[in-house]
Amino acid sequence: MKPIIFALFFIYNYICGFAQIFDSTLTPLLDKSTAPFAFGVASGDPHTNSVILWTKLYTQEPTTEAVKWEIATDTFLIQPVNSGEVFPEWQSAYTIKIKATELKPNTTYYYRFKYKNSYSAIGRTKTAPENADLLKLAVVSCSNYEAGHFNAYRLVALQNDIAAVIHLGDYIYESGSLPNPDKPKVRYHIPPHEIVSLRDYRTRYAQYRLDADLQEAHRLHPFITTWDDHEFANNSYSGGAQNHQSNEGNWEARKQVAKQAYFEWLPILPDTGEPQVIRQLQFGNLADLWMLDTRIEARAKQLTSPYDAELKNPTQTILGKSQADWLIDGLVKSTAKWKILGNQVMFSDFSAKHISKKYQRNLDAWDGYPADRNRIMDSLYAHQIQNIVVLTGDIHSSWAFDLARQQRNKKTYRKTPDNKIIGAEMVVTSITSTNADERVGKPLAKFAQSIIKNRVANPHLRYVNIIDHGYLLLELTPQYARGSWVYTPTVKSPSAEVDKTVKWQTHFDNNRLHRVK
């Protein structure tokens, strides 16, 4: 580039904000020896012949130099099966995302990037199978950096036989805080304030992606992600959020910058148009997976009372009509053995009336949007569709529910054809985000857990744990769908240990959950 053009380009970039991609609080966290690939590599959305590859340059200088990529089946990338180059753009904060195509199904690949004379780490990924008799998926949610070490991400990274990691959201948290000696946290967010601007959100993602455990999980497995509320602000809905105040600016503007940052950092790439989290993936004849957005695109504002006359109104929607139509159409057409929903908030009808009249319903979950749930369940029964597994995050605790049209009707839900069990909901606990014992102490949390287990109030509730952190391993075969809740011993210090594993499974065409050793 000629000096004058370079100078003009630099001034243009500087004025447009190049120098301000990240908050200055990020600088001390960056080890310069890892530049320009300090944020590692990632892959995502595996199909039978393609996968998305991701990296992001960290450079202090404006650049127009190409980033080269290559993908191979051998660990040293001696014989690439595909390669190319892309040009980083400061508008996307030098995000590099490409769709590697012409790949073979059910095959492990290795990939890397090159910028000038620097190579990235070598990433590992895997394409989806055309047919499969066994499929293992790690399911994760709720990784609050301040709440602890990402030990569960480390365990996921070490799990060598999984096809992909399904992330159900709360990948980052929007809160900020300054160190308080009276209430110390395991670690602290940067920037130290609540994130609102594009630079804030970018900086927060950068901090998370400098975590060695999360970075390694991304390097070793393809991720299939969707967002929940904290990628935006707590208890968000289409038109706002509980944690968005008018003095924090316009909600639509905040939503847009949060979305932009999300798609800059996560390995999602559309074939055409804008990226979106609502999409379907297939794992041969064994499983179809629908990734949902129950938060941002169409969700109506949460009601505050379960007695509100609007509760059952179809306008009190969590999916919106077009997403619900798309999901039901896909479920009806699917020929896969297992139909998996990648969902954010609890789908099951759960009553806590026996515990607290005031908090008897979680109106931030599907219990606050019963018309949409009824429409989906009615469609499933009308088309005699079963073998459903709903995967859920959001609430920092583990649950397993039998799935039926009237789940709390204990007289009929196991017996009558119009209310038979047609699937299971498996709720994954948090990677680190605070759960019950960290809020109220272990004795009280254990007591609360024993009350929640009341089978009279909730006969469909088969398992609950409101104390431990970890991840869920979903194992699918033609015969069964097994959820293994894998728990870490602590989040207060780094650990790669497994504390315990609890397994529940359903059988194909039977669907009633039972515990296995």
Provide the minimum distance between the beta carbon of 169 and Fe ion in the complex, in angstroms, as a whole number. 7
Q: Does the protein bind Fe ion through residue 432 (CB under 5 A)?
A: no
Beta bridge partners, 407, equal: none
Burial label, 304 (beta-carbon count in 10 A; 0-12, 13-18, 19+) = exposed
Task: Please give the Cα distance from 140 to 119 (Å, whole number).
Answer: 30
Provide the minimum distance between the beta carbon of 233 and Fe ion in the complex, in angstroms, as a whole number. 12
Place of tokens 């060695």: 212
Q: Torsion angle, CA of 425/429/435/437, rounded to 10 degrees?
A: 90
Residue with smaller CB distance to Fe ion, 138 or 142: 142
Residue with smaller CB distance to Fe ion, 149 or 460: 149
- In the DSSP assignment, the letter for residue 417 is G
- CA quadruple 190, 194, 198, 199: dihedral positive or negative? negative
Residue with smaller CB distance to Fe ion, 173 or 413: 173
DSSP 287-345: EEEEE--SSSSSPPPPPS-TT-TTTTSTTS-SS-HHHHHHHHHHHHH---SEEEEE-SS
Provide the minimum distance between the beta carbon of 175 and Fe ion in the complex, in angstroms, as a whole number. 11
Residue with smaller CB distance to Fe ion, 34 or 234: 234
Residue with smaller CB distance to Fe ion, 170 or 364: 170
Residue with smaller CB distance to Fe ion, 38 or 266: 266
Please report the beta strands in 431-488, taking only residues with DSSP state E, as ranges in sequence order.
461-465, 470-476, 480-487
Q: Which of 2-10, 231-239, 381-389, 431-439 is the region at the interface with Fe ion (rule: CB under 5 A)?
A: 431-439
Provide the minimum distance between the beta carbon of 347 and Fe ion in the complex, in angstroms, as a whole number. 16
Provide the minimum distance between the beta carbon of 412 and Fe ion in the complex, in angstroms, as a whole number. 34
x-marked contacts with Fe ion along 83-122 as a string, rule CB under 5 A: ----------------------------------------
Q: Which of 95-103, 330-338, 384-392, 430-438 is the region at the interface with Fe ion (rule: CB under 5 A)?
A: 430-438
Residue with smaller CB distance to Fe ion, 48 or 432: 432
Q: Torsion angle, CA of 191/192/194/197, rounded to 10 degrees?
A: -20
Residue with smaller CB distance to Fe ion, 43 or 429: 429
Provide the minimum distance between the beta carbon of 512 and Fe ion in the complex, in angstroms, as a whole number. 29
Provide the minimum distance between the beta carbon of 497 and Fe ion in the complex, in angstroms, as a whole number. 23
Among 50, 197, 392, 433, binds Fe ion (CB under 5 A): 433
Task: Please give the Cα distance from 383 to 359 (Å, whole number).
Answer: 35
Q: Does the protein bind Fe ion through residue 170 (CB under 5 A)?
A: yes
Provide the minimum distance between the beta carbon of 394 and Fe ion in the complex, in angstroms, as a whole number. 5
Q: Does the protein bind Fe ion through residue 52 (CB under 5 A)?
A: no
Task: Please give the Cα distance from 122 to 222 (Å, whole number).
Answer: 13
Question: Can you read off the two tokens belonging to residue 346?
Answer: 């609890």
Residue 489: other Cβ atoms inside 10 A = 15
Instruction: For residue 27, give every residue at least 6 positions away whose Cβ sits within 8 Å of its Cβ, in sequence order, or none.
Output: none
x-marked contacts with Fe ion along 383-422 as a string, rule CB under 5 A: ----------------------------------------
Task: Please give the Cα distance from 311 to 491 (Å, whole number).
Answer: 38
Provide the minimum distance between the beta carbon of 142 and Fe ion in the complex, in angstroms, as a whole number. 4
Please say whether the beta carbons of 408 and 349 come within 8 A. yes
Nearest Cα neighbor of 28 from 264, 210, 174 is 210
x-marked contacts with Fe ion along 124-163 as a string, rule CB under 5 A: ------------------x---------------------
Residue with smaller CB distance to Fe ion, 234 or 406: 234
Q: How many residues of this chain bind Fe ion (CB under 5 A)? A: 3
Provide the minimum distance between the beta carbon of 201 and Fe ion in the complex, in angstroms, as a whole number. 17
Binding site residues, Fe ion, CB under 5 A: 142, 170, 433
